[in-house]
Structure 1
Amino acid sequence: MSKSLGIETLGIRCSPLVREPLTSEQSAQAASVFKALADPVRLQLFSLIASHDGGQACVCDILPAVDVSQPTVSHHLKVLRTAGLLESERRGSWVHYRVVPAALNIVAGVVVPLTREASV
């Protein structure tokens, strides 16, 4: 009978990634956020908005940076808004989007402990 080679066998010490497990509600909320970010175009749009001056951008600012049509960009931005990652505000004929800071906390709460552990 062969024994599988696990992490413990390699001498790597396993430690918890977070202080306590996520609740059902936290898991559902985080899954919704990660599902919205799982699409490459949505992740790129989110990154464009988050890295734009002031953490907000007009559709006219981000449209040229992605290789999809304006209706497709609008659809992806709606998915990001529905997931609670973005807020929007109409200014004249353009809609401006900004990242919701609490959404970043959700992502960071799950991902950052892994990043910290990997850098130690």
Structure 2
Amino acid sequence: MTGIRKAIVAGGLTLSFVLAWGPSGYGEGSLLAGTDLDELCGGQDTHSDRDLLCNTYVHGFLDGFNTGASLATLRLGYCPPKNLTVAIGRLAIAKYLRDHPTELGLDAGTIAARAVLSAFPCPDGSN
């Protein structure tokens, strides 16, 4: 898997987690379209729920993109199931946090990446 592809996958995972926190209309199973992003990020009100969601989305995207870029040199396979949901992702991350308490001082992006890579490796070790 190329570095850009890993970055996109990591960003997509982060986006999935962010979407679970949104108001109705941006929940589980939803895809955020450009019009949705414009609605969240296009306004001038810097103290609204939409502004918070925009900042959360952008932070999560950048965090995921940076995590993907840092993983580009590693040859780790990631093969999520087709039915991967935010709930399943949260369970994987929560389990990883419980199983690896010594890593709690690491940045959240690294921990989340390790969690999903650990939970959903490719069966044959391929990327």
Normalising TM by the smaller chain, what interval? under 0.3
Give TM-score, length-normalised by structure 1.
0.27
Question: Max radius of gyration: which structure?
Answer: 1
**The structure with more strand, counted as a fraction of residues:** 1
Give TM-score, length-normalised by structure 2.
0.26
